[in-house]
C-alpha cells in the first residue's frame, strides 16, 4: 500500500521539475506589415534576433491585411484572446484604449527609466497613446505627409519645384494637365487625390491642414469645419476636381494604391505621400527610376498665412494586449522593436523614419537622404487627426460629404452645412 501511494507524489515531482525546465514563453505578434514583402522580411529578421537574445521566448508571427486587421483583432480581443503584441496605425488607437483592449505600459516604463526613457520619443508621437497620464503604446515610426512629385514631368512643363502657396499650386496643376503627345486627348493630369476609404484619412486631410483648418475645435467638442479656412480648403479640393479637372476622372474610386499607380505610370505628376512612396512607387515601375525622378516638397499654405500645422502625421505604434498572459515578455518584445537599434534597421530596410529624435537627427543615413530629411523636418509642422473615439464616424461624414460635392449630388454649401451638422450630432 505504502509503495503505491508514493508513486503519484514521485510522478508529480518529476513532472513539476520537467515542466520548469522546458518553460518557454510563447508570444504572438501581429502586424499588417508582416504581410508585405520588404517590411515582412525586415520585421522577421529583427524578431528572429530578439528570439536569439531571449532564448526562453518564442514569437509566432501573424500577418494580417490592413483592411482586415481591426475585424480580426476586435473579434479576438473581445472574446478574451488576440495576439500578445500588435501594431496599429494612428486611427483606431483611441478606440482600442477606450475599449480597454490595450495594456497600460506606465509601470513598465517606470522601471525602465520613466521620463528619461520617454524623452527620446517626439512629444507629439506620445500624444495619441497617452490618456490621463497613462502611456498605452510605444511609437515605432512617425512620418509626415508631403507632396511627392515627378521632377521630369515638372521640368517638361517648365516648373522648377512644387509651389509653396495653394494659389500657385493650382496654376501649376493646370499646366501639368495636358496631352503627352501634345495634340491628342488629355492623358496626363496634374495630381491625384484619394477619395476612396483606403488612405483617405492621411492624404486629403493634409490639404485641410495645409489651409490652416481643422476638423474639431481645440477642446474637441464642436465641429471646426465652419471656419473660413475650412471652407476654403473644401472648395479648393472640389475646384481641383470639378472646375480645373486637374485630377483624373474616377477619383472617387482612387485609394492609396491607385494613387501610387497613377504616379508610377506617370499619369499624374504629383501625389500626397511620404517616405514609403519612394520604394513603393519605384518598385511598381522600375523604368521610372523613382529614386532619382521623384522629389518631395512640403504641403503648401495659403498666401499670407503662416499656420504652424500644415500636414497630417502617420504613426505606427506597438501595443501589448490587455489579455496577454505574459505581459513581461510582451513588454520586452515591444521595447525591442522600438529601441534605437531596431529603428535604424527600419530606415535601412524600409526607408521609414523612427519616432525617436536621437535616431532621426543622429543617424547619418537619414541625414544623407533628401526625402528623409524633408519628412523629418515636416514632423514639427504636422499634427495627428483628432484623437477621439468618434473619429472614424467624423472622417466618414467628411468623406461622404466631400464625395457628394464632387459628384454634384449636393451643392458645396449644402455639403458643408450637412458636414458640420453631422459632426456636431456625432459629438453629442
Partner 1 sequence: MMSGKHRLAVYGCLLAMAVYNLWPFFWMLASSFKTDMEVTSFPATIFPQTFTTDAYSRVWSQEGMVHYFLNSLLVSGATALLSASVGVLCGYGFSRFKFRGRNLFMVLLLASQVIPGVLLVGPYFKMMSLVGLYDSLTGLILAQTTLTLPFSVWMIKGYIDEVPIELDQAAQIDGATSFQCLRYCVLPSILPGVVATTIFAFLLAWGDLLWALCLITDPAKQTMTLGITNLVGQFRVLWSDIMAATVIGCSIPAVAYVVLQRYLVQSSISSAVKG
Partner 2 sequence: MVGSTQRAGYFYILPALLLMILILGFPSVASVLESFGVGTKGPIGLHAYAKLIRDAEFYKTLLNTAIFVVVVVSMHLVLGLGTALLLNQELRYRWLFRVLAILPWTMPDIIGGLIFRFMFDTLTGGINAVLGALGLASAVDWLGDPGLALGTVIAAEIWRGYPYVMLILLAGLQAIPQDQYEAAKLDGVNAWKTFWHITVPNLKPMIYLALVLDAIWECRLFGMIYGMTGGGPGVSTQNLSLMVYKQYFQFFDTAYAASVAVVLAAVLLVLAVPYVRLALRDEK
Contact call for residue 81 and partner 2 (CB under 8 A): no
Contact call for residue 396 and partner 2 (CB under 8 A): yes
CA distances from 172 to 222, 225, 241 (A): 35, 27, 14
Name which of 87 and 173 has its Cβ closer to partner 1.
87
Site track for partner 1 across 345-374, x = CB under 8 A: ------------------------------
Query: From the CB of 33, what's the least distance to partner 1, in Å?
Result: 7
Contact call for residue 285 and partner 2 (CB under 8 A): no
Stretch that binds partner 1, among 30-38, 160-168, 217-225, 415-423 (CB under 8 A): 30-38
Residues 37-56 contacting partner 1, CB under 8 A = 37
Give yes or no for a contact between 317 and 88, defined as CB atoms under 8 angstroms apart: yes
Residues 177-236 contacting partner 2, CB under 8 A = 195-197
**Would you state the cell numbers that stand for residue 208, as one nine-digit string?**
485641410
Query: Residue 418 and residue 414: Cα distance in Å, rounded?
Result: 6
The neighbour count for residue 267, using CB atoms within 10 Å, is 14
CA distances from 63 to 34, 111, 214, 233 (A): 5, 31, 34, 38
CA distances from 202 to 11, 71, 73, 117, 283 (A): 60, 21, 22, 29, 22
Contact call for residue 32 and partner 1 (CB under 8 A): yes
Binding partner of 172, given partner 1, partner 2, none, CB within 5-8 angstroms per partner class: none
Name which of 78 and 134 has its Cβ closer to partner 2.
78
Stretch that binds partner 1, among 77-85, 207-215, 238-246, 333-341 (CB under 8 A): 77-85
Among 70, 104, 239, 339, binds partner 2 (CB under 8 A): 70
Query: From the CB of 75, what's the least distance to partner 2, in Å?
Result: 9
Site track for partner 1 across 178-197, x = CB under 8 A: ---------x----------
Beta strands 85-88 and 25-31 are parallel
Beta strands 146-150 and 294-297 are antiparallel
Spell out the residues 6+ positions from residue 427 whose beta carbon is closer than 8 angstroms to its own. 216, 220, 221, 222, 223, 388, 390, 394
Residues 251-270 contacting partner 2, CB under 8 A = 251-253, 262, 267
First vs last Cα of the chain: how many Å apart? 75
Contact call for residue 164 and partner 2 (CB under 8 A): no
Q: Enumerate the β-bridge partners of residue 134.
A: 131
Among 94, 170, 209, 260, binds partner 1 (CB under 8 A): 260
Size (the chain), residues: 428
Name which of 129 and 262 has its Cβ closer to partner 1.
262
CA 108 to chain centre: 25
**350: exposed, middle or buried (Cβ count in 10 Å: 0-12, 13-18, 19+):** buried
Name which of 158 and 250 has its Cβ closer to partner 2.
250
Q: Is the dihedral of CA 290, 302, 385, 134 positive or negative?
A: positive
Query: Residue 337 and residue 333: Cα distance in Å, rounded?
Result: 6
**Would you state the cell numbers that stand for residue 49, as one nine-digit string?**
534576433
Name which of 168 and 417 has its Cβ closer to partner 2.
417
Query: From the CB of 407, what's the least distance to partner 2, in Å?
Result: 5
Residues 399-418 contacting partner 2, CB under 8 A = 400, 403-404, 407, 409
Angle 331-333-334 from CA coordinates, rounded to 5°:
65
Q: Residue numbers of the site for partner 1 (CB under 8 A)?
A: 28, 30, 32-33, 35-37, 62-68, 71-72, 74-76, 78-81, 83, 187, 248, 256-257, 260-261, 264-265, 267, 276, 280, 283-285
Q: Residue numbers of the site for partner 2 (CB under 8 A)?
A: 70-71, 74, 92, 95, 99, 195-197, 248-253, 262, 267, 389, 392-393, 396, 400, 403-404, 407, 409
Amino acid at each position: 500500500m505504502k509503495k503505491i501511494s508514493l508513486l503519484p507524489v514521485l510522478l508529480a515531482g518529476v513532472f513539476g521539475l520537467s515542466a520548469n525546465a522546458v518553460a518557454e514563453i510563447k508570444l504572438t505578434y501581429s502586424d499588417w506589415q508582416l504581410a508585405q514583402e520588404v517590411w515582412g522580411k525586415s520585421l522577421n529578421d529583427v524578431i528572429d534576433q530578439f528570439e536569439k537574445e531571449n532564448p526562453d521566448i518564442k514569437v509566432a508571427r501573424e500577418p494580417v491585411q490592413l483592411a482586415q486587421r481591426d475585424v480580426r483583432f476586435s473579434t479576438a480581443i473581445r472574446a478574451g484572446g488576440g495576439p500578445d503584441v500588435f501594431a496599429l496605425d494612428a486611427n483606431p488607437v483611441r478606440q482600442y484604449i477606450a475599449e480597454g483592449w490595450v495594456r497600460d505600459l506606465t509601470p513598465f516604463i517606470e522601471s525602465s527609466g520613466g521620463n528619461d526613457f520617454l524623452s527620446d520619443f517626439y512629444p507629439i508621437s506620445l500624444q495619441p497613446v497617452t490618456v490621463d497620464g497613462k502611456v498605452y503604446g510605444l511609437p515605432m515610426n512617425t512620418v509626415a505627409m508631403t507632396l511627392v512629385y515627378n521632377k521630369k514631368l515638372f521640368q517638361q512643363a517648365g516648373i522648377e519645384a512644387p509651389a509653396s502657396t495653394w494659389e500657385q499650386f493650382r496654376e501649376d496643376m493646370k499646366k501639368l494637365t495636358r496631352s503627352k503627345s501634345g495634340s491628342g486627348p488629355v492623358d496626363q493630369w496634374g495630381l491625384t487625390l484619394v477619395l476612396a476609404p483606403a488612405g483617405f484619412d492621411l492624404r486629403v486631410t493634409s490639404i485641410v491642414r495645409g489651409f490652416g483648418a481643422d476638423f474639431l475645435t481645440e477642446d474637441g467638442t464642436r465641429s471646426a469645419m465652419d471656419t473660413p479656412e475650412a471652407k476654403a480648403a473644401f472648395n479648393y479640393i472640389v475646384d481641383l476636381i470639378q472646375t480645373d479637372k486637374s485630377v483624373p476622372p474616377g477619383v472617387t474610386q482612387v485609394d492609396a494604391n491607385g494613387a501610387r499607380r497613377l504616379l508610377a505610370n506617370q499619369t499624374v505628376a504629383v501625389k500626397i505621400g511620404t517616405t514609403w512612396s519612394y520604394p513603393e512607387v519605384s518598385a511598381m515601375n522600375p523604368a521610372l527610376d523613382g529614386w532619382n525622378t521623384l522629389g518631395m516638397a512640403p504641403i503648401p499654405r495659403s498666401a499670407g498665412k503662416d499656420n504652424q500645422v500644415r500636414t497630417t502625421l502617420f504613426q505606427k505604434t506597438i501595443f501589448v494586449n490587455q489579455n496577454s498572459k505574459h505581459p513581461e515578455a510582451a513588454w520586452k518584445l515591444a521595447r525591442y522593436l522600438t529601441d534605437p537599434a531596431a529603428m535604424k534597421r527600419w530606415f535601412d530596410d524600409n526607408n521609414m523614419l523612427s519616432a525617436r529624435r536621437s535616431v532621426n537627427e543622429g543617424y547619418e543615413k537619414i541625414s544623407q537622404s533628401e526625402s528623409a530629411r524633408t519628412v523629418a523636418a515636416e514632423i514639427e509642422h504636422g499634427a495627428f487627426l483628432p484623437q477621439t473615439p468618434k473619429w472614424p464616424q467624423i472622417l466618414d461624414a467628411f468623406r461622404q460629404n466631400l464625395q457628394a460635392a464632387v459628384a454634384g449630388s449636393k451643392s458645396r454649401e449644402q455639403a458643408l452645412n450637412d458636414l458640420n451638422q453631422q459632426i456636431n450630432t456625432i459629438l453629442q
